Amino acid sequence: MLGIGVQRLHYIPIISSIGLKLTDTHICSFKNSLPALHYLLYSSSSINCPTRRRGLLKKMKLDTPEFHALFSPELKELKALFDKNDYEMRIAGGAVRDLLMGITSHDIDFATTATPDQMKEMFELAGVRMIHAKGESHGTITARINDKENFEVTTLRIDVVTDGRRAEVEFTKDWQLDANRRDLTINAMFLGFDGTVYDYFNGIEDIKNRRVKFVGDPIQRIQEDYLRILRYFRFYGRIAQGPNEHDEETLKAIKDNSSGLERVSGERIWTELKRIVVGNYAGPIIETMVGTGVSKYMGLPEECNVEEFQRICKVTEGFNPEPMARIAALLDSEQQVYELQKRLKVSNDELKTCLFIVKYRDSEEGDDLCTYYKHLIARLSGKEKTTRTKVLELLKYKGYNDLREEILAWTLPQLPVNGKDLIIGGVKKGPVFAKTLDRLRIRWIESDFKLTREELLEMVDEVLKEIRG
């Protein structure tokens, strides 16, 4: 049953703001007509309420090479189909932001006044193939045109109920109401196919001034979906012109609501965090995230090594480091790596990269760095290509960029002896067999790969004595 206790339910403050006093029982009585009530209240221009972010539509014309480059034959065909059926369709969100910044966008989303059922009927009649992923319940239909391009088209929506992780939505035909539910002003614009930009919340001006702001009240925006905290920091790195130009009200809202990230899945957090740590101003941004208390809800230790992270960001700048290679700088031990993995559910390869760097970053290397790292690749078990990749990330971390090129070009020699040679020499298969081959490999590496097959086989009896004590 729907009642006053439902978190983030927007009807209650709106109803209160226009002087209606309704009890929990009254609200429950609307349960069969809430969609109509919601739209009536939200679309009423007479309501002046904090939950209603009142936009003032601004328009401009976009006429750039990046914009015109979008119009593939498939997109033109899709647009013609919507026009034929009297449904409006516009480019939405991030693609509009990118185009206004002169960036060619390769991930384009579209918004429409057509409902999912109307789109499905339209596509079926036109013989258009649909790829049904998991977006239909949220209004998204993916159409594949001419078996060449996929287009995600989403019905305009209103968030009815949000719990800090996900939202229940209703469909609408009101473009401003859809813009109203988006996170940042720079992501809340639409672009018509004639080049008209529709901006309800000053996104054009914010892009011009490189400002990252939430749509309306930052507290409400965050509490609708706490992942927006990380989205704010990610887009700050992409948009801002300086490392520490945050709005204080926004940072306070983030700090006061940082604990809400506990409700967000590790996978969603990692998707945002991995972009932050390799993006612009990663060092200052992580320092700000630690200062606002955000980091401790992402699996990072409360006492992060921010200074080391900032140093590693400078060392690896321009060398395309793996996200987990930079994350390693924040962690002091393998235990902290495992705690991070438990929270974020990073992949096995990402986990191994971080563990590798934490383990070997302070190792004694000797005077001949090139020899040390070649031997390290040869010593480690696993596929040589995978091991080399980890070593190359470690070299970025250490700032050994000239050496990195040499190691990348180096070919690991093949061990001159194999199991067949040991069998011929009378070594029986089993634990001793594996240990013998491994110790011969170590002697070969220590000789800088110079020992021959004959020389190694002559050492078998000596190695067996060592193993058997």
Q: What is the mean pLDDT of residues 105-126?
A: 94
- Count other Cβ atoms within 10 Å, centred on residue 221: 24
Rg of the chain over Cα atoms, rounded to whole angstroms, equals 29
| 315 — pLDDT class (breaks 50, 70, 90) | very high
- Cβ atoms of 159 and 169 within 8 Å: the answer is yes
Q: What is the mean pLDDT of residues 73-84?
A: 97
Determine whether 219 is exposed, middle or buried from the number of CB atoms within 10 Å of its CB (0-12, 13-18, 19+): middle
Whether the predicted pLDDT of 293 surpasses 70: yes
Q: What is the mean pLDDT of residues 107-135?
A: 90
Whether the predicted pLDDT of 62 surpasses 70: yes
User: Model confidence over 181-199: pLDDT tens digits?
Assistant: 999 999 999 999 999 999 9
User: Any idea of the CA torsion for 92, 179, 212, 224, to the nearest 10 degrees?
Assistant: -120
- Rounded CA-CA distance 95/70 in Å is 10
Q: How far is CA 219 from each of CA 74, 96, 253, 301, 318, rounded to the nearest angstrom?
A: 41, 25, 5, 25, 36
pLDDT of residue 390: 95
Q: Residue 399, by phi and psi: left (phi above 0), alpha (psi -120 to 50) or beta?
A: left
| Ranges 65-79, 157-171, 359-373: which has the least confidence | 157-171
User: Model confidence over 246-262: pLDDT tens digits?
Assistant: 999 999 999 999 999 99
pLDDT of residue 162: 61
pLDDT of residue 16: 37
- Rounded CA-CA distance 305/323 in Å is 16
User: Model confidence over 324-341: pLDDT tens digits?
Assistant: 999 999 999 999 999 999
- Cβ atoms of 13 and 50 within 8 Å: the answer is yes
pTM as predicted: 0.82
Helix axes 306-316, 282-291, angle to 10 degrees: 160
| 36 — pLDDT class (breaks 50, 70, 90) | very low
Per-residue burial over 92-114, b if 16 or more Cβ lie within 10 Å, else e, is bbbbbbbbbeeeebeebbbbbbb
Whether the predicted pLDDT of 301 surpasses 90: yes
| Ranges 133-137, 228-232, 345-349: which has the least confidence | 133-137
Q: What is the mean pLDDT of residues 34-42?
A: 41
Q: What is the mean pLDDT of residues 380-403?
A: 90
* Nearest residue to 150 via CA among 98, 109, 96: 109
Q: How far is CA 300 from each of CA 116, 244, 413, rounded to the nearest angstrom?
A: 41, 22, 40
- Cβ atoms of 387 and 380 within 8 Å: the answer is yes
Whether the predicted pLDDT of 148 surpasses 80: yes
| Summary mean pLDDT of the chain | 87
pLDDT of residue 161: 61
Q: In what order do the strands lie in the sheet with 149-155?
A: 58-61, 196-199, 189-191, 89-92, 109-112, 149-155, 140-145, 129-131
Whether the predicted pLDDT of 104 surpasses 90: no
pLDDT of residue 41: 43
- Cβ atoms of 190 and 91 within 8 Å: the answer is yes
- Cβ atoms of 243 and 185 within 8 Å: the answer is no
- Rounded CA-CA distance 98/166 in Å is 26
Q: What is the mean pLDDT of residues 102-115?
A: 92
